[in-house]
Chains A and B, each alone.
Chain A
């Protein structure tokens, strides 16, 4: 916000500082969910043992947000409400099927992450609503996970990013479902359903290396194809879709590796 003020690209008549609101900074376990207050700073999430233990996908993404100075001040709610599709948290929280609690003069309501991000820097928040809390379900079926991003330099906004979650039932060898959400050069975080289906249909721990490699190659092409129309780029949209495919493949490789190690 302030960079835009300094560059005189934004001219709000009034700015309301939410930092003064007490009681909105916390990270709590609530049984089947983790609840994080909207004013929790990235830095607190970064060093939270609870998150490292229970939500490793989130823990993997947070250190990649900007730089320490940014993480010292940036908040979960701020990042989500800003809704930059190249930021890490919108992508990750969509993958984790988070539920966002919005509060306004008419009361509170819950919005699913998938429905929250409506476009470039646009959210489903109504005119006088703020984000109060984010609730993330703990899914015990999580077998493997990975967050990857591609940026020109360390800490830059992602040209492409992918959050990958693989689920299984009990001690089964088969993947029962997957959630793959990409971000970066798109308008909002997008699920790659064609790849989710492929993974559900074909991936198992006992897959041969060569057939696994083949599946992953197909996953890459599927992702590249599915994301194409959603890429907000001009002449380089082919490169950006290609990058997305690569990150999905690599994310799956990494998620599989983690599954194997469990």
Chain B
């Protein structure tokens, strides 16, 4: 069986449909960045350790640098660019701003999406649960202190708003 040179990929990113033809070896990260223009997906290591490339794929956080674009056929992807609704930031983005949970910002897209994934699964995490959930996202600037505070605050805020 001859392996095709280019494979058709059709997927949804941030609510919009996109199509492309890619080499099988092209990573999802490169496809999102180069072909589709989602440069909010950052590359920090390209071996699945730093988490900077994290996106939501069918609702769950994954590392797009070790995901092949062809594997994302028919998937629904959310990148950082798709989180805010127009000018209105996602509560976690807002919490990051409120707590200065970033400095250079390079880890931020991945970190925010990992936090979104966490609060989806576990709406009221303890501090240790937050730290464990984010331990797959490296930050070289903040020492994580403000990041943990931001996620905690976002969880608390949603808990308060949940109360009848």
Partners in one complex: yes
B60 within 8 A of A: yes
Instruction: Give chain B nearest CB distance to A157 CB in angstroms.
Output: 11
Q: Which residues of B contact A67 (CB under 8 A)?
A: 51, 133, 135-136
Q: Number of A interface residues, CB 8 Å?
A: 23
B42 within 8 A of A: no
Contact present for A69 and B135 (CB under 8 Å): no
| Chain A residues numbered 1-32 whose CB sits less than 8 Å from any CB in chain B | 2-3, 5-7, 13-15, 17, 19
Q: Which residues of B contact A109 (CB under 8 A)?
A: none
A70 within 8 A of B: yes
Q: Which one of B65, B66, B114 has the greatest number of beta carbons of chain A within 10 Å?
A: B66
Given A69-B54, A70-B136, also A2-B70 (CB < 8 A): no
Contact with B136, one of A14, A17, A19, A155 (Cβ below 8 angstroms)? A155
A72 within 8 A of B: yes
A194 to B46, alpha carbons, bound, how many Å?
44
Q: Using C-beta atoms within 8 Å of the partner chain, give the interface range for chain B.
A: 20 to 34
| Chain B residues numbered 88-147 whose CB sits less than 8 Å from any CB in chain A | 114, 117-118, 121, 132-133, 135-136
Q: Which residue of B lies closest to A67 (CB)?
A: B136
Q: Which residues of B contact A70 (CB under 8 A)?
A: 48, 63, 136
Given A43-B60, A68-B117, A72-B61, also A6-B66 (CB < 8 A): yes
Residues of B within 8 A of A (CB): 1, 3, 24-25, 27, 46-48, 51, 54, 60-63, 65-68, 70-71, 114, 117-118, 121, 132-133, 135-136
Q: What would 7 A/B residue contacts be, using CB atoms closer than 8 Å?
A: A2-B66, A3-B47, A7-B46, A14-B3, A66-B136, A70-B48, A154-B135
